[in-house]
Amino acid sequence: PTCRLPLDFEIENKKSRKNLGLSEMSYFLPHLKNGWEVDQAILSEENRVVILRFGQDHDPTCMIMDETLYKCAEPIKNFGVIYLVDNVKVPDFNTMYELYDPCTTMFFFRNKHMMIDLGTGNNNKINWAIKDK
């Protein structure tokens, strides 16, 4: 048997979340909880692009990006997979990928980091929130 909270508690909890400005989108996307899981996600995916968002779920920039990624997850599921990584809890890649911004999104395909050209001069990653899918 599963333990279920009363509906009024869930409604109140959602209201308080919205009052605090917390995004719920990060809860719908899979999280990688350690360096091994990140490595396995990059190594094991052979036919799809692996999209990793590094940052913390409560960061405002990450909240915006998570909402955009959540909206994109279903349409791209055949050729891309999205994971979230808390780079404070999983600091293994901070130095290697120069993860100094609050929110960083990177792309990998067949175990290789993908370079992207968005006209910013930084072709390694996206370090701002994309607001529109």
Q: Which string of DSSP letters, residue by residue, matches 8-71? A: HHHHHHHHHHHHHT--SGGGGS-EE-SHHHHHHHHHH-SSSEEEEEEE-TTSHHHHHHHHHHHH
Tell me the pTM.
Answer: 0.79
Give 13's contacts (C-beta < 8 A, 6+ positions apart): none
Whether residue 62 contacts residue 69, with contact meaning beta carbons closer than 8 Å, is answered with no
- Average pLDDT on 13-30 reads 56
pLDDT by residue (tens digit) across 73-122?
999 999 999 999 999 999 999 999 999 999 999 999 999 999 999 888 88
Q: Tell me the C-alpha to C-alpha distance, in Å, between residue 102 and each of 49, 55, 85.
A: 23, 6, 12
**Sorting pLDDT into bands at 50, 70 and 90, what band is 24?**
low
Only one residue has tokens 């100094």, namely 100
> Which structure tokens are listed for 133?
């899918």
Separation between Cα atoms, residue 56 and residue 66, nearest integer Å = 10
Residue 47 pLDDT exceeds 90: yes
Rounded to 5 degrees, what are φ and ψ at 112? -125, 135
- Average pLDDT on 14-25 reads 45
Cβ count within 10 A of residue 126 = 19
